[in-house]
Structure formats: structure tokens, C-alpha cells
Amino acid sequence: MTGATTVEWALSGFGDEIDDDPVIQIAVLQALGANHIEVRSAWGTNIVDLDGDQLDRLKGLLDAAGMKVSAIASPIGKVDVSLPVDHEVERLRRATNAARVLGARYIRIFSFYYGADQTVEGIRDDVMERMRALAAVAEEDGVILLHENEKDIFGDTPERVLDIIETVASPALKVAWDPANFVQVGVKPFAEGYARLRPHLEYLQVKDARFADSAVVPAGEGDGDVLRTVEALKADGYSGFASLEPHLAGAHGLGGFSGPTAFGIAARAFAKVLNEAGVGTK
């Protein structure tokens, strides 16, 4: 049964899942009803590697289309924990500059890969040192970091995500919820993660996956408890972003790709979920 729509969330999406060209990214997202975009790359260049002229050009395209930026989808923390602390601090400063130019409040980050000869417990102190340093930059620059629960990093389970948030204890470090990533590490997202992470949940990434084969599928078609999560968020008064990151055509180290057609399929699948939950978009 379709619920009565009483709330609206801001719909966004990872533009580079559609095309390398920001003009096409913007056009497709707007055709799907989104007024925001999550920027991971433009013209095939990652957001932390765009120079000043490219950032200004991108800002001009977004302004001309009336499109705002929901978040900077940075690769910060998607590196081996053995790298020096300053390595990611310096890259984060480039990401915060991009956030300033593009008018974004949020920057997505990760909590570090580690070698096959290391244990997750053994890298904890190094991870926390780096996450504290990143949070300090965010506090200084007036942005909010969103930790994504990527598989194979320290914070890939609800327990360790919560450990990061509580240990760093910074108002500039919050949770980006990605149900597909939890599924891919064997976690039942809602049953095993929602209650403990909801107090820190600031941003919803829309991606689903199956336990059977770890395949990424449109929202509501996998084991990510997307409908149940949306219903709970609605009941809890969530009023933030829902950002489409479909990964329907493939994934790679720094992200994934869907293409315009598959991205549209993903958007329509999520719209069905929202309709059933009684949540609108804006």
C-alpha cells in the first residue's frame, strides 16, 4: 500500500555514473527530477585533481542549469593506511577547496585499506589518528565529512563505523549510509546497523546488492533493506539527501558506472520505493 507523502527528500546522484561530461550528467539528473548532483569527477578527472579553472568552469555549468551540489564524493581515505597522515590531509584540503567553490557542505571519505598481512584490529590506532586529522581539517574549513562504509576498509561494518564516530567524536564527522556495501560484507543493513548508526546518519546513498552473489542491483531489488530503511528514516524525521549511486554497469577502485539508461532504471526503482514509503523528492 502506498503511504501518504508527508515529507520530501532532496534527490541527488553521482554524475559521473552517467557520463564523463558534466553537461550530460546535469541533463540526465534533471530529467529524472533531481536538482542536486554529487560530484566525484568531471571530464574524466577526479574532483581532488580538478584545477582552479576546471572547478570554475564546472561551477558555471551548474549555476547556468540551476543545479546545486549535494556532496563532494572524494576518494579521501580510499588508500592504504600505511601512507603518511599528511598524504590524505593534503588531498582533503583540495576537496574542501572544491566544496567551497561548488557550494557543497558535505565531503564523502573512507577509513583506509590495509595489507593482507595486517589485521583490522592491528590498524585501528593508525586509522583513528588519520580520521582525527581529517576531522580537524573539516572543522577548520567548515565542512562535514561523511564516512562511507566501503567494503574492505576499516569501517566496513556497523560496529567499526560506530567505533570511528565515537572515538573521533567530532561534529564534523558523520555517517553516509550505503546498504549495498553492508550487504557485500555480509551485514544485514537494517537489522544489524540501523539502530546503532541512526544517531549519526547524515546522508543516504542509494545502492542495493544481493547476498547470494554480491551483485549490485536497483534499489529494492536486493537484500539491502532499502524500503525498510526509507520507512524508518521517514518515521525518524530524516530530511536530508538521497543520492543515487547505482553501480549497475560496473565498479572500479574509485567508483562505478551505470550510463544514462541504467541510471534511469535505478532512479525509477528508487522512486517506486519512495512512493511505497510515502516520501516525495525535491
pLDDT given at position 1: 42
Q: Which three cell numbers stand for residue 80?
A: 592504504
Q: Which domain holds residue 223?
A: 7-281
Burial-class residue 215 by CB neighbours within 10 Å (0-12, 13-18, 19+). Answer: middle
Is residue 227 domain-resident? yes
CATH code of 253's domain: 3.20.20.150
Beta bridge partners of 109: 147
Model pLDDT for residues 247-269, shown as the tens digit of each residue: 776 554 555 667 899 899 999 99
**Residue 73, phi then psi, degrees to nearest 5:** -90, 75
In a domain, 157, yes or no: yes
The sign of the dihedral angle between the CA atoms of 141, 144, 150, 154 is positive
Query: 185 lies in a domain?
Result: yes
Which pLDDT value is given to residue 6?
A: 76
- In contact, 138 and 173? CB cutoff 8 Å: yes
**Can you give the pLDDT at residue 250?**
56
Residues in the chain predicted with pLDDT less than 70, given as ranges, are 1-5, 249-257
231: in domain: yes
Residues contacting 3, CB < 8 A, separation 6+: 231, 234, 276, 277, 278, 279
**Do the domain assignments include residue 180?**
yes
Within-domain flag for 196: yes
Handedness of CA 109, 219, 105, 56 (dihedral sign): positive
Contact 116, 82 (CB under 8 A): no
- What are the Cα distances from residue 264, in Å, to 55, 72, 90, 183? 27, 22, 36, 23
What integer pLDDT is reported at residue 3 of this predicted model?
Answer: 54
Q: Is 1 part of a structural domain of the chain?
A: no
pLDDT digits (tens, 9 = 90+) for 65-113: 999 999 999 999 999 999 999 999 999 999 999 999 999 999 999 999 9
The answer to whether 107 and 92 are in contact (CB under 8 A) is yes
Per the domain annotation, does 95 fall within a domain?
yes
Tell me the pTM.
0.95
Q: How many domains does the chain have?
A: 1
